[in-house]
Amino acid sequence: MTEWHPDREALERFLDDALGDEESRVLQRHLFTCPECEERLLEILPPLETEEGAPHDLEPPAQRGPIGPMGLVQRVLSDTGSEIERRQTRVAGERGRAAELWHEIRPYNKEQRRALILAEPCYQTWGFFEVLIDKSRQAALTEPQKAEELARLAIDLTDFLDPELYGPGSFEAAKTRAWACCGNALRILAQFREAEQAFQTAESYFSRSWLDPLDEGLLLELKAGLRRAQRHLADGVELLDAAIDLYREINEPHLQGRATLTKGTLLQLQGKYEEAGDCFRSSLFLIDGAQEPRLICISQFNLIYCLYDSGRTEEAAALLPDTRQLMERNGQGSDLIRLRWLEGKIAATLGHAALAEQALHEARSRMIEDSAVFDAALISLDLAALFARQRRSSASKRLIEEIVPIFRSCEVYDEAVAALIVFQKAVEMEQVTLGLVEEVAAFLQQSRSNPTLRFREET
């Protein structure tokens, strides 16, 4: 909660529309997140009139229910001919039509879609803009190039959105969302410099927008993803803490849970397993499973991984059966593959060698089928560690003979291949140690986000 609070005079000038644009935006932003000042504002509102002209009081606070990010603006600025209400009615109608329009142009190629959207007024609405943003966010993890394409199309579409139709600050708010989604897609594509520029552009527009806390929270969350990819993990945690505080202030528990889950992953990467585990446990209570059921799967999986990494392997194993059932209902195929991998690692640690080998082989085969060669190599190293404990040098040789050609046939960094060749030579000379396995595995993990990293000077 911010320490500054507007006085009565400032609130009255806000109601009279006597503040400058910047002062008005700052005060409105404060009212979004400060229930006390919101109540003070409502107290000084003049009474509304009934259709017969008789004044009546506002509903008492207990009867109004929670006020969302646009709820305050509605109550403060509306009257019987409310412009806000007309705008919301317009957008609601646009949303319904936008879904139909997207279905109509979906079969077209991207050039045809772009030409239609930028030429035809029926597409140049806030409702259709929201469709493009939603489609971009949905595509980000599996089709980042498509996500970038849709985000850039949304950026161009914002130039056709009329602020007089959608309200002051709407143009800037739309630019904020579109550039943030573009930055997120660029981050997933590992174009970090371009992603940084996209987020800077989004922040610039946000400062001139209607300052919706949901826009700010999304911007903070997505930018934290970039900091994670850049390995600036502490900076990412700081951004997520700001998002979590913001979502708590505006009573958005699901979004708070989502940001808390992401914070946990950054703490996990820093080796802070206890703190990360606390984040995952908290997120499980906050996330709305009906809204985003897969997030529950991810949080539960990450909690198990934290327990495993912190040496609490038996506790981790106890959670596996329920997590598998959960993922089979709500997870994706890739989630189940990673769970199978983790089941193998846990079984190996507990001394169940046969179960571990079976699980790791299954996970590795699926990773190869999906062309996830980095993960396939890491699973191979887990198998190699298992074979090293059993002194099965011939099994290790077969393993490395399979994985090195796969790496060479794909667009994988030369240093990653070099690391595996070092491991291959050690296998051939029957000099594999657990230390070498761990060294190569750690290098492959780090090289994913830093392709300039070198593996040993002698390679």
- Please indicate, yes or no, if residue 34 is contained in any of the structural domains: yes
Three-class SS state of 48:
strand
Predicted model pTM: 0.76
- Nearest CA-CA partner of 124 in 166, 86, 167: 166
- Please indicate, yes or no, if residue 191 is contained in any of the structural domains: no
Q: Answer positive or negative: Cα dihedral of 211, 215, 221, 227.
A: negative
pLDDT at 56 over 70: no
State the DSSP string of 288-337: -TTT-HHHHHHHHHHHHHHHHHTT-HHHHHHHHHHHHHHHHHH--HHHHH
If you search the block for the tokens 């579409």, which residue do you land on?
157
- pLDDT above 90 as % of the chain: 47
- The mean-pLDDT minimum among 285-289, 384-388, 400-404 falls in 400-404
- Please indicate, yes or no, if residue 422 is contained in any of the structural domains: yes
- Nearest CA-CA partner of 366 in 355, 379, 357, 382: 379
- Please indicate, yes or no, if residue 430 is contained in any of the structural domains: yes
Q: What was the pLDDT predicted at 399?
A: 74
Give the pLDDT confidence of 374-384 residue by residue, as tens digits. Answer: 788 788 888 88
- Nearest CA-CA partner of 267 in 247, 244, 290: 244
Which of 80, 104, 121 represents a domain boundary (last residue)? Answer: 80
Dihedral pair phi/psi, residue 55, rounded to 5°:
-70, 150
* Cβ neighbours around 428 below 10 Å, total: 14
pLDDT at 1 over 70: no
CA distance 302 to 280: 7
- Please indicate, yes or no, if residue 377 is contained in any of the structural domains: yes
Q: What was the pLDDT predicted at 366?
A: 92
- Please indicate, yes or no, if residue 193 is contained in any of the structural domains: no
Q: What was the pLDDT predicted at 452?
A: 63
Q: What was the pLDDT predicted at 86?
A: 73
Total tally of structural domains belonging to the chain: 2
- Please indicate, yes or no, if residue 458 is contained in any of the structural domains: yes
CA distance 158 to 124: 8
**Cα R_g (the chain), whole angstroms:** 27
Domain residues for the domain of 70 are 8-80
Give the number of C-alpha atoms closer than 13 A to the C-alpha of residue 68, restricted to the C-beta side: 3
Which of 80, 99, 127 represents a domain boundary (last residue)? Answer: 80
CA distance 446 to 415: 11
In the structure, what pLDDT confidence band is assigned to residue 453 with cuts at 50, 70 and 90?
Answer: low
pLDDT at 321 over 60: yes
Which of 45, 65, 80 represents a domain boundary (last residue)? Answer: 80
- Please indicate, yes or no, if residue 319 is contained in any of the structural domains: no
Question: What mean pLDDT comes out for the span 82-102?
Answer: 79
- The mean-pLDDT minimum among 60-74, 134-148, 337-351, 433-447 falls in 60-74
> How do beta strands 48-49 and 55-56 pair?
antiparallel
